[in-house]
Structure 1
């Protein structure tokens, strides 16, 4: 349901817009170093993953009662 355009044209415009945004963001932001990526993974992503796992298990057990 685009703004008075055929569905394929509207889809192509949205796809082109998001591709351009990804390209612009990637080109304008600096690349993180390997040690920064590893630090982020261990200090941020791993704890968030474990919290997500525990919360999901708690919700499933809570709904099973």
Structure 2
């Protein structure tokens, strides 16, 4: 498991993240799961891409 939640940015073991997991089914990540930085997110009709300045690009 990643140290941080990629939806809310809190520590992964800090509380219940079931709402975050549900939201992530329809939304791109907002935080880097490795370093908790806010991501630069671009949503297109075909999917999304999220970029962390430290860890690079994640796509759907």
Which range, TM-score by smaller chain? under 0.3
TM-score (norm 1): 0.23
Larger Rg: 1
More helix by share: 1
Q: RCO higher in 1 or 2 (8 Å CA, sep ≥ 6)?
A: 2
TM-score (norm 2): 0.25
More strand by share: 2
